[in-house]
Amino acid sequence: MRSHTLKRWFSLAFILVASLTLAAPPAPAIELILSIGIAPPPLPIYEQPVCPGVGYIWTPGYWAYTADGYFWVPGTWVLIPEPGFLWTPGYWGWSGGLFVFHEGYWGPQIGFYGGVNYGFGYVGVGYEGGYWRNGSFFYNRTVNNVTNITNVYNKTVVTNVTVTNVSYNGGAGGITARPTPQEEAAAQARHIPPTAQQTSHVQSASSNHQLYESVNHGKPAIAATARPSQFSGAGVVAARAAAPSYKPVAARSAGTPGGGHNAAVHPNEVSPAARPAPPNTGNQKMDQKLQREQDALSAKQEKERQSLQQKQEQEHKGVAANSPKNQQLEQKHQQQTQKLSQKHAQEQQQLQQRQEKAAGHPSKP
């Protein structure tokens, strides 16, 4: 039933695209798939399955839509269709009073994907998960779960923004990023649409009852898979949790005052940062020393997060939820949380730079 529903909605989307094409000048080569009036849920928190082997690249999970509501398309490893190509993820954007989905594509450069931080190297701008060199793809082990591949390197990925798992651009609570000239050029340059495997993967997800938000409430049981359409057995990863900012559908309606997702207010609303891959300098003593430094920094930062969380909770005691004083507290706490997140990001970046210098072989910038 859902398979037929999905086809019917895609047909309606095609008619919408055709009518827009006739009424407007040629647009960038990014497909409009569907437009609706309800904000997509925030991205769930999940881990990445092990890469199947050389030639695969990670494509992050996202929320798609049918008449039955939003459903999760699990993140998965996909065979790269052409040497030198990278994947630009699709994204939801707010336009003309509706949320519109822009389809992802393959190309030699990463284009605009709404500023959405999908994780695993897709930090909102560009791709930090790997790069091509001499016809071979090299994987960044810091953000990719690769164990059986030799073309690897370690580079800590740091973003100086609070991660809130927001999954759309524009609108109330949406990401405010805009495409750069380089990203616009990537959209206009030669690229190809999702592969047949990717299309089948979406189709399979649309037919899986447990992937619908109405069932999983933002925490899909199949959050990621080792290969497209592989929804059972080894290589299937369940979400650890829904995003802390998750709200039910009624609270995300485009017409709902305050609908959408705002920046994290308290430390426990910030998604935990991915731990760097274990050092691998070839010197066991050096690796142990570098690992102790990383563990010490992680422990210190976790203690600071807990301390700020406890302090904020104490300040909230006895304050009415809808009072002006509570609103002032929330604004103050949001600023404190963002400041702490930025401080931790800078500390991690500084540690990474020191360790790369000590190891004598800095990772590729």
Q: What percent of the chain is predicted at pLDDT more than 90? A: 46
pLDDT surpassing 70 at residue 269: no
Residue 13: band (very low, low, confident or very high) from pLDDT cuts 50, 70, 90:
very low
pLDDT digits (tens, 9 = 90+) for 45-80: 999 999 999 999 999 999 999 888 899 999 999 999
Measure the CA–CA gap between 218 and 63, rounded to whole angstroms.
10
* 61 within 8 A of 223, measured Cβ to Cβ: yes
Distances (CA, A) of 119 to 47, 94, 122, 251, 330: 10, 21, 5, 25, 27
pLDDT surpassing 90 at residue 266: no
Q: What is the pLDDT of residue 102?
A: 92
Q: Tell me which residue range forms the domain holding 233.
A: 2-263
Q: What is the pLDDT of residue 34?
A: 62
Q: Output 188 or 261, whichever has higher pLDDT.
A: 188
Q: What is the pLDDT of residue 58?
A: 98
Among 19-33, 207-221, 310-324, the minimum mean pLDDT is found in 19-33
Kindly state the average pLDDT of the residues 307-328: 82
Q: Output 23 or 213, whichever has higher pLDDT.
A: 213
Kindly state the average pLDDT of the residues 348-354: 77
Sorted by sequence, the CB contacts under 8 Å of residue 132 that are 6+ apart come out as 83, 84, 86, 138
- Asked whether residue 273 falls in the same domain as residue 251, the answer is no
- Asked whether residue 62 falls in the same domain as residue 128, the answer is yes
pLDDT digits (tens, 9 = 90+) for 120-147: 999 999 999 999 999 999 999 999 999 9
| Per-chain mean pLDDT for the chain | 81
- Asked whether residue 243 falls in the same domain as residue 328, the answer is no
pLDDT surpassing 60 at residue 305: yes
Question: Count of CB atoms within 10 A of residue 213's CB?
Answer: 22
Kindly state the average pLDDT of the residues 345-364: 68
Q: What is the pLDDT of residue 159?
A: 56
Q: Output 29 or 96, whichever has higher pLDDT.
A: 96
Q: What is the pLDDT of residue 112?
A: 96
- Asked whether residue 68 falls in the same domain as residue 180, the answer is yes
The backbone torsions φ and ψ at residue 192, rounded to the nearest 5 degrees and listed phi first, read -130, 155
Domain's final residue, options 202, 231, 263: 263
Q: What percent of the chain is predicted at pLDDT more than 70? A: 79
Distances (CA, A) of 252 to 88, 198, 220, 303, 313: 26, 28, 18, 34, 26
- Asked whether residue 325 falls in the same domain as residue 355, the answer is yes
Residue 271: band (very low, low, confident or very high) from pLDDT cuts 50, 70, 90:
low
- Asked whether residue 280 falls in the same domain as residue 227, the answer is no
Q: What is the pLDDT of residue 67?
A: 81
Domain's final residue, options 263, 293, 318: 263
Q: Output 268 or 264, whichever has higher pLDDT.
A: 268
Q: What is the pLDDT of residue 313?
A: 87
- Asked whether residue 237 falls in the same domain as residue 311, the answer is no
Domain's final residue, options 241, 263, 285: 263
- Asked whether residue 278 falls in the same domain as residue 163, the answer is no
Q: What is the pLDDT of residue 328?
A: 78
Mapping DSSP to helix (H, G, I), strand (E, B) and coil, where does residue 136 land?
A: strand
pLDDT surpassing 80 at residue 247: yes
- Asked whether residue 259 falls in the same domain as residue 321, the answer is no
Q: What is the pLDDT of residue 24?
A: 31
pLDDT digits (tens, 9 = 90+) for 78-104: 999 999 999 999 999 987 677 889 999
- Asked whether residue 237 falls in the same domain as residue 306, the answer is no
Alpha-carbon Rg for the chain, nearest whole angstrom, is 21
- Asked whether residue 151 falls in the same domain as residue 285, the answer is no
Total domain count for the chain?
A: 2
Among 66-75, 106-115, 269-278, the minimum mean pLDDT is found in 269-278
* 356 within 8 A of 364, measured Cβ to Cβ: no
**pTM, entire model:** 0.64
pLDDT digits (tens, 9 = 90+) for 180-227: 999 999 988 889 999 999 999 999 999 999 999 999 999 999 999 999
- Asked whether residue 168 falls in the same domain as residue 310, the answer is no
Kindly state the average pLDDT of the residues 237-252: 88
